[in-house]
Amino acid sequence: MNPDRDDVTRDEALLRRWNDVTVRAARPPSSDLLARSRNSRDRRSPVVGAAVALLAVAVATAGVGAWISFRNGLIAGGSASPSSIPAAASALPTATESPIASEAPTVKPKPSAPSVALRQNEYIVEFHRTGAGGWVLTDQRLLLSDGTSWRTCLDRPRAPNSNVLPDPLRAAVVDGASIRVFDYASMALSTDGCATWTEDLLPSALPAGPTGVSFPSAEIGYIAASVGPNNVAANIYRTADGGGHWVAMPTVKSATHLTLGNLQLAFADADHGWMTDGTTLWYTSNGARTWAVTHLPVPASVSGSSDTIQTPVIGPAGEATVVAKYDRAPGMDGVAGQLVFYRTADMGAHWTAAAVVADPGMLMMSLVDSVTWVIVDPMTGTSVRATDDGGKTWHTTAVSERWPFRASSMSFADAARGWLIVNEPEPPCPQVSGAYAVCDYAFAPPQHLVATEDGGATWHMVLP
């Protein structure tokens, strides 16, 4: 017998058995379900009390006592209403509803009390500190901050006459009052600072929407995503009318014939731009008609192989900065290596290594512009280093009031003002007797946004 045929038979047989067995599952009477609904209301208090106890244990176990003082100072700022969420989970306790905070000690008021909070299961897709405030794109909303309060610029609407949840938001471009937000299938555009929106469909060849978006001008824009079997090709589209129509540009194949990562775009003007999937940097000088792989010079002091490449940050006069990590285990996270900060002043014709920084493994960075960079080691969290002269000199700020949990990424508007995303740890898995595993779930730990106004010395919550 053909061994392949045997394999097919085996998986088909398993699927058939799965079908035959599960179709016999007994549906409980609806009266039981509704009785349980009533019971749940009657017994809400002890349940909440038990939840408080368990959550407190989880928090204490995770060693994040600092979080209590953080959160306590934030609850007063209010929380997002769940009423607009078509999703489930509104009955579940949210982070801001957690009564833990009521048991926490009082902390000093923070400069900007948060006026909104992340919803349950809402996750941050993209965020930029642009000055006193900035913007945050989640899978559901675009939130804008002026540094003192937040407002919801766009909330994912529920389609009329439909019970299907909308697609998650994928990317945003915020340029003053001109705002573009992309989901799987469309681009929403507001030119009046969120007051009114128009919507244009995206090319259907990008079934999950773009991962990379760049609009060097109000009219010219590019979007990109890796599609196709195993994601080995980058599909790029160009618009010349602000997103009304998209033209497919030549596909770019993976340089390594391996799966492309999340494609990111950074265009300096209508013709010149870069694209990266996190490991390869491509450059175009003719509006995405052709792309060439950029080979960055490796300084003699650097050992190992090229591992990751950050999305370039572009200045107004053709200068740009990109950071590459070199280590001895490309493809592995958390490996010690070296970060090389590259600069170009001629739109990518020549790249020079401006600075080399040792990376213990998880170093985070924010490229503010072509000369201002900030780096933090989230594993220690003891200091923040910054340069405003392209890496010639670095100044270190000791962290006196640390952020809670684990920092994952950051964005600085300048050397002093920055945002940081922190992720809560996973709660401990309850030990339930019996044969059934209870931890076999995909799980996304809750996120929060914290801010510094003093170069990283102190941090406070801005988006719980």
Partner 1 sequence: MMPLDLSVSKTTAEPVRRRIDGSATADAAAEAAVPAFEMAYEQAWLPVFRFALAWTNDWTAAEDLAQESFLRLWHRRDEVDWSEPVLPWLLVTTRRSATDRFRRLRRSLTFGAPFATAPDSDARLEWLDLRAGFGRLSPLERSALVLTTIEDLDAAAAGAILGIGANAVRSAASRGRQKLRGAR
Binder of partner 1 out of 14, 177, 317, 398 (CB under 8 A): 14
Binder of partner 1 out of 1, 2, 27, 257 (CB under 8 A): 27
What is d(CA 7, CA 34) in angstroms, rounded to the nearest whole number?
A: 45
- Distant-in-sequence contacts of 181-186, Cβ < 8 A, 24+ apart: 181/137, 181/142, 181/154, 182/209, 182/210, 182/213, 182/223, 183/156, 183/209, 184/208, 184/209, 185/209
184/394 with CB nearer partner 1: 184
Q: Which stretch binds partner 1 (CB under 8 A): 83-91, 263-271, 349-357, 369-377?
A: 83-91
| Contact positions with partner 1 (CB under 8 A) in 407-426 | 424
161/196 with CB nearer partner 1: 161
Shortest Cβ distance from residue 381 to partner 1 (Å)?
23
| Contact positions with partner 1 (CB under 8 A) in 303-362 | none
User: Residue 78 CA to chain centroid, in angstroms?
Assistant: 24
92/248 with CB nearer partner 1: 92
32/108 with CB nearer partner 1: 32
Shortest Cβ distance from residue 179 to partner 1 (Å)?
24
Contact 388, 372 (CB under 8 A): yes
Shortest Cβ distance from residue 95 to partner 1 (Å)?
9
| Contact positions with partner 1 (CB under 8 A) in 141-180 | 161-165, 167-168
Q: Which stretch binds partner 1 (CB under 8 A): 15-23, 67-75, 145-153, 216-224?
A: 15-23
The upper half-sphere exposure of residue 463, i.e. CA atoms within 13 Å in the direction of its Cβ, equals 34
| Contact positions with partner 1 (CB under 8 A) in 197-256 | 207-208, 227-231
Binder of partner 1 out of 39, 81, 290, 396 (CB under 8 A): 39
Q: Which stretch binds partner 1 (CB under 8 A): 210-218, 294-302, 319-327, 436-444?
A: 436-444
Contact 208, 198 (CB under 8 A): no
Shortest Cβ distance from residue 7 to partner 1 (Å)?
4
- In the chain the first and final C-alpha atoms are separated, in Å, by 60
Shortest Cβ distance from residue 75 to partner 1 (Å)?
18
Binder of partner 1 out of 11, 106, 195, 257 (CB under 8 A): 11
Shortest Cβ distance from residue 291 to partner 1 (Å)?
22
- The site for partner 1, by CB under 8 A, has a size of 78
Contact 219, 241 (CB under 8 A): yes
Shortest Cβ distance from residue 169 to partner 1 (Å)?
12
CA proximity to 296, closest of 287, 305, 286: 305
- Strand ranges inside 221-303, DSSP E: 221-227, 233-239, 247-248, 252-253, 264-267, 273-276, 281-284, 292-293
Q: Which stretch binds partner 1 (CB under 8 A): 189-197, 268-276, 361-369, 434-442?
A: 434-442
Read off the amino acid at residue 118.
L
CA quadruple 140, 264, 411, 179: dihedral, nearest 10 = -50
CA proximity to 361, closest of 386, 328, 383: 328
Distances (CA, A) of 20 to 14, 379, 435: 10, 50, 22
Binder of partner 1 out of 1, 195, 300, 435 (CB under 8 A): 435
91/300 with CB nearer partner 1: 91
Q: Which stretch binds partner 1 (CB under 8 A): 52-60, 66-74, 289-297, 391-399?
A: 52-60
Q: At what angle do helices 65-75 and 44-61 cross, to 10 degrees?
A: 130
CA proximity to 239, closest of 266, 265, 217: 217
Binder of partner 1 out of 1, 2, 30, 195 (CB under 8 A): 30
51/107 with CB nearer partner 1: 51
Strand partners of residue 386: 374, 395
Binder of partner 1 out of 78, 304, 318, 445 (CB under 8 A): 445
CA proximity to 269, closest of 254, 253, 282, 285: 285
Shortest Cβ distance from residue 438 to partner 1 (Å)?
5
19/196 with CB nearer partner 1: 19
145 CB contacts (<8 Å, ≥6 apart)? Answer: 112, 133, 134, 135, 136, 151, 462
Q: Which residues of 227-257 are buried (b: 16+ CB within 10 A; e: fewer)?
A: beeebbbbbbbbbeebbeebeebeebebeee
| Contact positions with partner 1 (CB under 8 A) in 63-82 | none
